[in-house]
Amino acid sequence: MSSTQAVTPVPVQLGTDATSVGSRTRRTRKHDPAAKSPMWVRIVLVVICLMWIIPTFGLAMTSFRQQDDAASSGWWTVFTTPANLTRLTLQNYSDIFTKADMGTAFVNSLAISIPATIIPILIAAFAAYAFTFMAFPGRDFLLIAIVALLVVPTQVALVPLLKLYGQLGISGTFLAIWAAHIGFGMSLAVYLIRNYMATLPREVIESAKIDGASHFQTFWRLIVPMSTPALASFAIFQFLWVWNDLLNALIFIGPGPNQPLTIALVSLLGQQGQGWQLLTAGGLFTMILPIIVFLSLQRYFVRGLTAGSVKG
């Protein structure tokens, strides 16, 4: 026999681990939020952004143009004909304060929007706490009834409310528009805030009860600070809705000393469609405060909308 022995090769099994590692790596890359998005996604996002930015930019450019230029050519001619840059003016912004009294209308819009935003939040927060952490007969039925009011168009209540306000003698006052906006926004406020409070840990509430805290102390010191994202989300919705509202303002306030910005803007447009360069200046002026409010509360807005969407 030969001194050398035949050695049988043993296959090394590395395929399973390598495959599993590779698949985990691919899954990690697939779900990595920092990974690069496909080119078509970025193109679609750019197109959507341009669809929003270009009209707003055209609105801004028209607000600086003279009446003859705005009526005879488009805003893009400012760039195609450089000589038109010398014809831009700030006179439109001066005219909106003298012809439509936009300063008083701005104060009136604040006087309408701030109470019509804060009061529903306070009432809805108390109601949401009761629906979430308190047990009483008919709680579920009452909650369903409140949420069901979301499907009822607000327009069906305009005529009855107008008659009621006329009987009470409050038509044309801030109280009338406050009550209307508070009533129309209450269902959505209760729905959003209650859903957010349902995601809060109940151990905190039970610990507060053990320590002898009342419902009001638990609500004010624990629930309200923890519900800031939901409260801010509804505040953005309600403020923008009230600030930009024209229908309810025309019905319950009307033109006059208490008119908000939306009614003042309509008065800038002449009967023959003239003066719409003033309308663009007034529109751009009314956009400043809503943009500031949204940007300042944006982080709370996102947190409030995504609360409860994921677990863990």
Q: For residue 256, what is the DSSP state? A: S
* CATH architecture, range 95-306: Orthogonal Bundle (1.10)
Are 204 and 222 within 8 A, CB to CB?
A: yes
Give me the pLDDT at residue 309, please.
46
* Every domain of the chain and the residues it spans: 35-89, 95-306
| Rounded Cα distance, 276 and 253, in Å | 24
Residue type at position 174: F
Q: What is the pLDDT along the chain (312 residues), one digit of tens a residue?
A: 444 454 455 554 544 444 444 555 455 445 555 567 788 888 998 999 899 888 888 888 888 888 888 878 788 888 887 777 778 888 888 888 888 888 899 999 999 999 999 999 999 999 999 998 888 888 889 989 988 888 888 888 888 998 999 899 888 899 999 999 998 888 889 998 998 898 888 888 888 888 888 888 888 888 888 888 888 888 888 999 999 999 999 999 988 889 999 998 888 776 445 567 788 888 888 888 888 888 887 777 666 555 544 444
Cα–Cα dist 194/78, whole Å: 51
Distance between CA atoms of residues 231 and 27, nearest Å: 37
Scan for tokens 């209308």, then name that residue. Answer: 105
Task: Please work out, in degrees rounded to the nearest 5, the angle formed at the alpha carbon of residue 60 by the alpha carbons of 56 and 66.
Answer: 140
Dihedral, 207, 210, 212, 217 alpha carbons, nearest 10: 20
User: Mind spelling out the 3-state secondary structure of 214-251?
Assistant: CHHHHHHHHHHHHCHHHHHHHHHHHHHHHHCCCHHHHH
- Answering whether pTM is above 0.95, one says no
Distance between CA atoms of 231 and 188, rounded to whole angstroms?
Answer: 12
Question: How high is the pLDDT of residue 273?
Answer: 54
Cβ within 8 Å of residue 191, ≥6 positions away: 146, 147, 150
List the one residue out of 162, 173, 166 whose CA is nearest residue 257.
173
Backbone dihedral angles phi then psi of residue 188, each to the nearest 5 degrees: -65, -40
Tokens (6 digits) for 117: 């935003």
Q: How far, in whole angstroms, is CA 208 from its chain's centroid? A: 33
Q: Which residues of 181-196 are buried (b: 16+ CB within 10 A; e: fewer)?
A: bbebbbbbbbbbbbbb
129 burial level (CB within 10 Å; 0-12, 13-18, 19+): buried
